Amino acid sequence: MTNKLLLLNALLFLTLTLFGQTVRKETRLYAEKTGQELRMDIYQSDSTTLQPQPCLLFVFGGGFKNGERGAALYHPFFNYFVKKGFTVVSIDYRLGMKEQKAPGVFNTKPLRNAIAMAVDDLYSATHYLLENATELHIDPSLIIISGSSAGAITVLQADYENRDNHPSANVLPDDFRYAGVISFAGAIFSTEGVPSYTQPPAPTLFFHGTADRLVPYGKTRFFNLGMFGSKPLAKKFRRERYPYMFYSMEDIGHEVSEYPMQEFLPEIDRFISDYVFNRKQWMTDIHFKDMLRKSDTSTTPGNYYN
């Protein structure tokens, strides 16, 4: 057997001590597309029972041009929910904005293609987890998708296209729906104006900074085509009476894509408990102002991609 095959088939374990538990990390190849091998890291506690666990599926950020599934800044998020009895899965996806110019209202094709590839890869990862749910002790009815920045765009877009019966979601079983969505500074690309859902979306937790200049807090549009951020999405959810929670982080920029995964873990846990497990039909808007936090709001698509 070649070294490459050994690498693809080996189960890679990482052990970390956490509150008396051991967190095991197993790496698997879940797909190969356009010559790229796509892997997922599966985090579970060594005390995992044979009972199916809820699954928190994570998509990293990086503007669709860089980023890593195992970046250290995500570990508090992963470890917290493994301790809470979840299987946490962090995935690779193809980065469609590598070496591309900054997107804009007259240059949307590269971004649209990047989003489509990331969503396609998220669906493939989901399909893999569903196919292996018994072995991995995952409850297929409790797969929650979460993401940061580009990853947040991906998970919002994926739930939208799945609920709206887009052909992109055909890889998933007809009756499959994500149980929840957690977005750290995300948006949806739409050609119909503010997205309309054929079926109600999953309960969604939005975090977004009002001063975010990289992923729009509001919307960037040309007629009906554009990016629609957390504010118009939450407004749509309220109007249509879809359950959601929206943390509007006042005067904060794009760092909202990261720091809630360290500083708002109990709040995220409560959202999952109330909205996903207990199916509360709540619509909650929280305007959060941290008077001690200073924000860098200088990052824009123009200087991020150039």
Give residue 20's pLDDT. 54
Whole-prediction pTM value? 0.92
Report pLDDT digits (tens) over 96-112: 999 888 887 778 899 99
Give residue 184's pLDDT. 98
For 185, the 3-state DSSP assignment is coil
Counting Cβ atoms within 10 Å, is residue 196 exposed (0-12), middle (13-18) or buried (19+)?
A: exposed
Residue 268 pairs in a beta bridge with: none
Residue 211 main-chain phi, psi, to 5 deg: -105, 20
Q: Which residues contact 55 (CB under 8 A, 6 or more apart)?
A: 86, 87, 88, 89, 129, 138, 139, 142, 143, 144
The whole-angstrom separation of Cα 27 and Cα 117 is 21
Q: Which residues contact 79 (CB under 8 A, 6 or more apart)?
A: 16, 18, 23, 43
Report pLDDT digits (tens) over 6-22: 334 333 334 444 445 68
| Ordered alpha helix ranges (H), the chain | 3-9, 75-83, 109-131, 133-136, 150-163, 230-240, 260-263, 265-271, 301-305
Q: What is the DSSP letter of 260?
A: H
Q: Which residues contact 16 (CB under 8 A, 6 or more apart)?
A: 22, 23, 25, 79
For the residues of 136-161, what is the DSSP string, one character each?
HTEEEEEEEEEEETHHHHHHHHHHHH
Give residue 47's pLDDT. 72
Q: How far is CA 235 from the centre of its chain?
A: 20
Instruction: Pick out the chain residues at pLDDT < 70.
Output: 1-21, 48-49
Among residues 243, 284, 254, 253, the alpha carbon closest in space to that of 267 is found at 284
Give residue 15's pLDDT. 41
